[in-house]
Each structure stands twice: as structure tokens, then as C-alpha cells.
Amino acid sequence: MTKVKSSILGYPRIGGGREWKKALEAYWSGKINESELYSRLAEVRLASLKLQQEKGIDLIPVNDFTLYDHMLDTAAMFGLVPQRFSGYKGGVVPLDIYYAMARGAEGATACEMTKWFNTNYHYIVPELNGAEPQLVENKPLLAYREAKKQLDIEGKPVLVGLFTFLKLSKGYKTAETDAWIDKLLPLYEQVLLQLQQEGVQWVQIDEPVLVTTLSEEDLTRVERIYKQLGAAVPGINILLQTYFESVDAYSRIVQLPVAGIGLDFVHGGKQTLHSLEKEGFPQDKVLGVGLIDGRGIWRADLSAKLGVLERVFKVVAKEKVLIQSSSSLLHVPVSTSYEEKLEPVLKDALAFADEKLDEITLLAKAASEGTDAIRAELEQNGQALAALQTSAARSNKTVQAAAIQLKQQPAARRESFAERRTAQRERWKLPLLPTTTIGSFPQSPEVRQARAKWRKAEWSDAQYRDFVRQEISRWIRIQEEIGLDVLVHGEFERTDMVEFFGEKLDGFAFTQNGWVQSYGSRCVKPPVIYGDVAYTSAMTVDETVYAQSLTDRPVKGMLTGPVTILNWSFVRDDLSRELVTYQISLALSQEVQALEQAGIGMIQVDEPALREGLPLKERDHAEYLNWAVDAFRSSTSNVDATTQIHTHMCYCEFNDMVGSIRDLDADVISIETSRSHGELIHSFEEHTYDKGIGLGVYDIHSPRVPSATEMVSMIHRALRVLDPELFWINPDCGLKTRGSEETIAALRNMVQAAGESRESLTVTK
């Protein structure tokens, strides 16, 4: 019998009860000290490793755990601390400096944060800016030693590959790429040499950037990097790991001088399998077969996966195959064992991280011993998948037909932007540089406690509704007192901008403990789209109309857009993502009409995740953007010319999205930019934008309160390239996670900055 080994690329960091998150936040709030923090995190980390050991995973990853983010860890490992964090004097990066880079500190803004490829995970962007990196702490080595000493695990250290790290960093010119490779290569050699000296057998080097569209020059660079590493550290087995898509330069990647290549057989899996069968695979290398979806929550069709393995084994010998997850499991919740309220048909069709470990070991067992060894599991697997597929939740023929019709003929606004702008100016009579916020206000402990009492039925619906109205009333008064021009109701009734809507639509389900890390300690519990999505009744009208009744200033209705609901949910895998989005769009269009009919004339439909869903291959961008834009317009087009449609986007690289952003045809768009404000301003020098726009003038992810002077500077930079008649002043995102005191202080400064900027414009004129 040939033993086929199993592996995963990474495991969730947060712990089954979000112990990781709670420890970080306790440390930041001063409730525990540094020693206690490390102790608590070690408990979470070792428990995760022990579980993988008990489940029978052969190659267990170490150093996939982090104190905040793995890209930040890599920067810290090489002493890459921006100069503005003046407390750093070299050597191991102190914890306060590490967290200041992630979250900001007095006098030092946080490092930029952006999406990890096309996932909802955010990483901290390393800043190079002429730094001289050096190895100050071998984090993979420390993680390997801990697993070996504490659990006798022969761990597989994981580190971000040099090329991916460099490509995702900022602060250097393209012409300096080779010089930076020359700086970093000796450091990677040091890391690997120390691991080799420790007796490490396998090291996983993640190079997900290899699945993107690369130039000939970049491919040559990758070849140079791994040729040099292979020559410098010949005694260690490097598993060069790719994920999230297929690799275009397959024949060149598999020939790199490493011991193994990991490929994604789920996302881009058809192309990966085609390349394998057409071009073969080197006999002297191990193939990591990413067969279990590291990003989705659905049970794998084990029979289908075994069919893929049969094809793989015709090309690669069994002893040269690793069966593993397609990516790190940090993108899925920890375990379905915590879910006690899901319908059995749905729960039986789910697989979170722990269940995926079982799937991997089952496939490895079948590959080693034959399918009869898991016959009972295969039958149960097939029954569970069939039960969901034939359920009533997936049988709404009306919605299915309407979505197809919308795909064939999307909606559009009747009037041009110029016509709408004239009508809206007359209706709203807003000042130059109008001020507003993105939607949410701080969710205080009292708000969360009230919601918890309501959910536990300790409060009646009427009690909870009265409480929410009190909060709305209080914050309407605060906004008026601060002097904001366009107000919001604050979203106190909402836990999450996607979950809230999913709870009110058919086709969604919600977990009790399905948490995943979004950024830092911020965890989200994505809804599960498991059936056909359908509108049932008004979702936001009551709170918005109540808020509007309290003030003469306009109050925006606040909705989450169809593409964001899609991208921030776990989505059924039996329909295309495009058709699911059109189903959501149909439901949202009915809510937009309900708000308008109730007298709400400004409606914000947020799409912060629009870019997040962009395919990793450039050739696939246009198709995705076309249907994503069409879905947004189908949600927002059936309104009068005087109704002003707003939207909000996050971390948008404007240069490659300007056409699509314009095509959304929103009257006003706000873009989250404060951590990369200068880069976006530069892009406006190259691309004209002729609709209403607000660039976030301060960073809500940091607790620091920026001064009015600081915001005036940002406003003036933007107005060099944007029309003051179309410019809005706003924070760069919602304020739910901030404290009330800092929120009010920052908004006061923002309104002051807007006033000073108006005066300077008036003087100039």
C-alpha cells in the first residue's frame, strides 16, 4: 500500500470561541499585560496544532498563526518599520510598535490596509521606502521549535514568499524591483539556513501572486529567486505554494528548482487539471493537490474529488502527492460543532475548517487504501448533498426566471447625470463641499446589550424598537449640533451590514459561531446564501423614516449593495455568482422603491466589496465588472431624477476601476482612501471623474482623532484635481467600531475643515 500524505496550508487563528480576538482586545484596552497576552495566544495556537495532529494531518503548518497579520509579521521579521514610528531603534520589533503599525499611534498614522487578493481578509501593506532590511527575528523557526517541544509535531513552517511580499509592498519604484530582490534574497536564505540547521524537513513558501497575470520579466525574476534559494539551501524541501487560481505559466512554474509545487484544484481547478494532463509534472517533485476548498463552507463532493485524484495519479505517482486544502483555512469558520440551530439539511451540507480536515484525511485514506475504505462516508456525503439540492429553498421558479431576465436586460436610470444633478440641486440646496458620514455610528456596549436581550427574548419587539429609536434620536441631535449637512440614522439595529439584510430576505441562513477574521481582531460572521434570494417585506423603512421625522436636514437611507452582499457571504455553489447577484439585486430594487415611496430622497447603496470580487486574471476582469455594474444599476435605477443615489467603496485602486465606477451611475460615490490618499489623488490627475465624489478625509480604523488642519490639507490636495461643485466631505468608512467621544471629536474637526475649505474657495473665487 502506498501512503498518500495529507496537509493543509493554514488554520484559522481566532479559536473556536474567538479567544484570539478577546486576548488582543484585552491587551489593547490595558486589561492584560504583554505576558498574559502571549500566554493566552499560545493556548489558542497549541490547541489548533493538537487538533490537526489528532485528526491525522501529516504535514501540519506552523507560523500560520499571527499576533495580527502575516504580512505585518514578515515586515517585522525583517525590521521594516516606517520611520514615523520613531520608537523603533532596531532589533526585534517591540509589541507596541508592531501594533502601532497596524492600528496607528499618536503622531503616527497606521500602515495602509488592503484586501488579500480577492478575499475578504485584509493585510497590512509593508512600506519599504529606502529601508535597509535585516533579519531581526526568525519567526518560522520559533514556531517550529514550539510545536516540536510542546507537541512533538514535525511542523511545516510557512512564510510569505519573497516575490509575493515584494509585489504586495509599497514604497519603491518598479525600476527598483531587482534591487529589492537583491536586498531580500540573503534574508530569505538566512531564514531557510537556520530552519535547515534545526532539522526542518519541509517549508511552505507561499507565492499566491504567481496565479495573477505576470510579465515575462517577473517570471524571470521568480526563476532567479528560486534558483538562488535552491543553491543556497539545498538541504531543505521547499514546497512552493500557489492558491486562489490556476497558474498561467504552468510549464515554467513546475520546473522551478524546489522539492514541491502546490496548486489550486478548486479555484481555477479545471485549468490546473488541464495543464497537468497536457504538460505533465516533473517526476522528482511532490505535487500539493489543493483539493478541498479553503474558502468555501460547503461539503466537498467526495466522489467527484476522488475522480480528480484518479486523473492526477495518471500523471503523478501516489507517493509524490500531497492531498491538501486549496488555500489556508483562515477564510472559513472553525467548526460546525458549534452550530445548534441550523436546519439539519443545511448543517449536514456544511464543512468548516475542522470538517475540512476530516475530508482531507478521508481522501488521503481512500487514495491510500481504496474507496471501499470510506464507503459509508461516501454514501452519507452523497445523501447530504442531494438533500440540500432538492430542498424547497432552491425551488423558487419565479425568482430564478426573473434573475435570468434581468441578466439579459439590466435596468438603467432614465435621466442622464447632468439632468439629475440639476433636479437634485433644486431639491436639496446643499452648501459647497457638503458634509456627511458613511452610515453607521458607534455601537456602544449598551446597544450590543440591548440587541442581546432582544435576541434572547428578554426584551419584546416593542422594547427593542423603542431603544433603537432613542439611539436614533440622540444621534440625530448630535449630528445637527456638530453641523453635518446630510444625516444618517446610525444603523443601531444592525449587527453587520450584510447579516442585517440577509436576516430579512429568503434564501439566507445564519450561523451561531461562524466567525472568520476580516482584519486584526475584527471578525465577521458571513451569512450563508443557500437558497433562492427573495424579498419579503420592507427592511429599513421604519428606522429611516423615523430619523427623517426628527430633522429638516436630509437623512440618507442605507442599504448594502448586491455585489457586496454576495462577496461578504458564503455563497451557494450550484449557481453562478452572477445569477445569485441578480437575485439579490431584484430584492434590493424593491427596498429602494419602498424608501422612495416613504419620502426618503437620498439612498446610499454601498458596494465596499466591488473590487474584492475582481478575478485574479486580467482577462476575466471585464466580464465580472460588466455584470457587477449591471447588478448595482438594476438595484438603484427605478427612482425619480430628484432621488440622489449614493454609494461607498473600500480600498479601490482607482486607475483600473475608473470606467466601472463611472458606469455605476451613482450620483455620489465615497471612497475609503485615507491610508492611501496620495496615491488616489495621483490617479485623478490621469483620469477625470465627473460625478459627485467624497474621498475619506480621515481613517476610522485608527483610534486617533485627526486635527482639522490635517483634514484641510487632504481636502485641498483632492480639490487640485476634483471639481469643488461635486466634492463631498466625509470619513472614509462607517463609525460602528469607534467610541462615541472620539467620533464626535473627529466629526467636529471634519466639519470645521469643511468650513475652512469653503471659505478658502470663496476667497479664491
Convert the pLDDT of each residue in 375-384 to its tens digit: 999 999 999 9
C-alpha–C-alpha distance, residues 257 and 230, integer Å: 6
| Residue 491 assigned as binding residue | yes
- Per-residue pLDDT tens over the stretch 579-612: 999 999 999 999 999 999 999 999 999 998 888 8
| Residue 663 assigned as binding residue | yes
Q: Residue 431's pLDDT is what?
A: 96
C-alpha–C-alpha distance, residues 722 and 691, integer Å: 10
Give a yes or no: residue 515 inside a domain: no
| Residue 648 assigned as binding residue | yes
Cα dihedral across residues 689, 691, 696, 701: positive or negative? negative
Give a yes or no: residue 111 inside a domain: no
Give a yes or no: residue 310 inside a domain: no
Give 3-state DSSP helix, strand, coil % of the chain, rounded to 5.
50, 15, 35
Query: CA torsion angle for 303, 305, 311, 314 (degrees, to 10)?
Result: -90
| Residue 111 assigned as binding residue | no
| Residue 115 assigned as binding residue | yes
- Per-residue pLDDT tens over the stretch 403-462: 999 999 988 999 999 999 999 999 999 999 999 999 999 998 999 999 999 999 999 999
| Residue 284 assigned as binding residue | no
**Consecutive H or E run containing 124:** strand 122-124
**Consecutive H or E run containing 400:** helix 397-408
The whole-angstrom distance between residue 602's C-alpha and the CA centroid of its chain comes to: 28
Q: Residue 762's pLDDT is what?
A: 75
Cα 390 to Cα 98, 155, 436, 573, 584: the distances in Å are 50, 42, 47, 14, 21
Q: DSSP string covering 24-63, please?
A: HHHHHTTSS-HHHHHHHHHHHHHHHHHHHHHHT-SB-EES
Count Cβ atoms within 10 A of the Cβ of residue 747 and give its class: 0-12 exposed, 13-18 middle, 19 or more buried: buried
Select from 605, 405, 574, 577 the least CA-distant residue to 501. Answer: 605
C-alpha–C-alpha distance, residues 548 and 515, integer Å: 34
Catalytic residue among 489, 677, 701, 716: 701
Cα 159 to Cα 73, 608, 621, 735: the distances in Å are 9, 29, 29, 34
Q: Return all residues near 86 (Cβ < 8 A) that are at least 6 apart.
A: 108
- DSSP at 335: -
- Per-residue pLDDT tens over the stretch 180-205: 999 999 999 999 999 999 999 999 99
C-alpha–C-alpha distance, residues 144 and 63, integer Å: 7
Cell reading at 346: 443545511
Q: How many domains does the chain have?
A: 1
Contact in structure between 740 and 442 (CB atoms under 8 Å): yes
Count Cβ atoms within 10 A of the Cβ of residue 270 and give its class: 0-12 exposed, 13-18 middle, 19 or more buried: exposed
Give a yes or no: residue 642 inside a domain: yes
Cell reading at 505: 430576505
Q: Return all residues near 691 (Cβ < 8 A) that are at least 6 apart.
A: 417, 662, 665, 666, 667, 668, 669, 726
C-alpha–C-alpha distance, residues 383 and 157, integer Å: 38
Select from 59, 37, 49, 11 the least CA-distant residue to 150. Answer: 49
Q: Residue 606's domain is classified under what CATH number?
A: 3.20.20.210
Select from 669, 658, 575, 562 the least CA-distant residue to 610. Answer: 562
Kindly indicate the confidence band of residue 657, based on its pLDDT and cuts at 50, 70 and 90: confident
Above 60 in pLDDT, residue 237? yes
What's the whole-number mean pLDDT along residues 20-47?
98
Q: What's the per-residue H, E or C state across 245-283? A: CCCCCHHHHCCCCCCEEEEECCCCHHHHHHHHHHHCCCC
Helix (H, G, I), strand (E, B) or coil at 431: coil
Quote the longest CA-to-CA distance of the chain.
85
| Residue 621 assigned as binding residue | no
The whole-angstrom distance between residue 577's C-alpha and the CA centroid of its chain comes to: 17
What's the whole-number mean pLDDT along residues 24-53?
98
Q: Residue 677's pLDDT is what?
A: 53
Q: Return all residues near 381 (Cβ < 8 A) that are at least 6 apart.
A: 299, 300, 301, 302, 303
| Residue type at 116 in one-letter notation | W
Question: Containing domain of residue 594, as a range?
Answer: 398-411+436-441+482-494+541-764
| Residue 120 assigned as binding residue | yes
| Residue 14 assigned as binding residue | no
Give a yes or no: residue 649 inside a domain: yes
Cell reading at 65: 498563526
Contact in structure between 8 and 360 (CB atoms under 8 Å): yes
Above 80 in pLDDT, residue 672? no
| Residue 515 assigned as binding residue | no
Active site residue 489: no
Above 70 in pLDDT, residue 247? yes
Helix (H, G, I), strand (E, B) or coil at 765: coil
Tally: H helices and E strands in the chain = 27, 21
Above 70 in pLDDT, residue 369? yes
Give a yes or no: residue 617 inside a domain: yes
Contact in structure between 118 and 616 (CB atoms under 8 Å): yes
**Consecutive H or E run containing 557:** strand 556-560
Contact in structure between 521 and 25 (CB atoms under 8 Å): yes
Query: CA torsion angle for 64, 66, 68, 73 (degrees, to 10)?
Result: -80
Above 80 in pLDDT, residue 570? yes
| Residue 523 assigned as binding residue | yes
Q: DSSP string covering 438-493, please?
A: -SB----HHHHHHHHHHHTTSS-HHHHHHHHHHHHHHHHHHHHHHT-SSB--B-TT
| Residue 652 assigned as binding residue | no
The whole-angstrom distance between residue 695's C-alpha and the CA centroid of its chain comes to: 21
Cell reading at 550: 426628527
Above 60 in pLDDT, residue 674? no
| Residue 633 assigned as binding residue | no
Q: Which of 151-165, 580-594, 612-626, 691-705 has the lowest mean pLDDT?
A: 691-705
Q: Residue 481's pLDDT is what?
A: 97
Q: Which of 77-86, 97-106, 689-698 has the lowest mean pLDDT?
A: 689-698
What's the whole-number mean pLDDT along residues 152-178?
97
